[in-house]
Amino acid sequence: MAKTALSTIHSRLDERYLFNFRVSPETLASRIPVSWLRPRIVNGWGVVSFCILKLERVRLGPMPAPLGVSTTSCAYRCGVMDVSGPSPEPSVYIAGRSTDLPLGSILGPALLGKMQKVRTDISRTQDHVDVRASYTDGKSLFSARAKPLTKRLDSKLFGSQGELIDFIKGGASSYSPSSRAGHYSRVDLEEDSTYEVIDAEIDYSGIDAAWQDAGLVFDSAIRATGGRYDLTYLGRLPARLQPAGAVPA
């Protein structure tokens, strides 16, 4: 699908937090529902991240920026390699996005795939930031405390801040279940944010309950601030698509 004025959601990033968990590639592969997305291996591990981001001036296509709205959205993201094309490329698989904007949960699926309404909060104390997301019934989805990193990055996934930033920026495309059954929506991200590695403590991660016995281990966290944050819908791929180069059975 060609890019059009009405297929791009424009916004300005206030701040974004990503909390990264490592998991065995085999376990991650078992949670990815299509054959043309495969785990992106980092130092022998698969990577699952919880992402929460606050956006300002969110608007569709040619709408003027002053008419945009603010929203805090979140999602669990799986690092993958997209093998649907002529050469593999880094991407992200998202089982479903969530937003605190009621209208977003109604209109968002047309471009971004399945989306549900949640409650979100990013609040500051004197020495840390509390990050929380919960379902509308009050059940927790995710909660953590984040603060500046005052020691060397301690990660089994990434050897340096640069490696972590490169990994996040490398996943500029994403796929999530489409509103059309049996299909997955592709959305590409264009941004120019500033990143910094941070320290974090996880209080609750809802994916542990959904992925029982997966063995997810918290590894690292990063924060992004400022800059353009544009999401462009590029159409759908069928779940049964054969990976490029595969021989049909």
Cα–Cα distance for residue pair 74/96, rounded to 1 Å: 9
Range list of β-strands (E), the chain: 8-23, 37-39, 46-60, 69-82, 89-99, 115-124, 129-135, 140-148, 173-177, 183-191, 194-205, 217-225, 229-238
Look at the block and give the residue holding tokens 């949670």: 31
Which pLDDT score, from 0 to 100, does residue 2 have? 42
Mean pLDDT by 10 residues, the chain (249 residues): 62 97 97 97 98 94 84 96 94 92 58 79 93 95 95 94 93 90 93 95 94 94 96 92 61
Phi, then psi, of 166 in degrees rounded to 5: -60, -40
**Angstrom distances, CA of residue 154 to CA of 215, 219, 242:** 19, 8, 39
Cα–Cα distance for residue pair 224/194, rounded to 1 Å: 5
C-alpha 127: how far from its chain's center?
26
Q: Which amino acid is at 113?
A: G
Which pLDDT score, from 0 to 100, does residue 43 have? 97
Longest dimension (CA), the chain: 60
Phi, then psi, of 90 in degrees rounded to 5: -60, 145
Q: How many CB atoms lie within 10 A of CB 75?
A: 22
Q: How many CB atoms lie within 10 A of CB 27?
A: 16
**Residues whose CB is less than 8 angstroms from the CB of residue 246 and which lie 6 or more positions away in sequence, other chains included:** 35
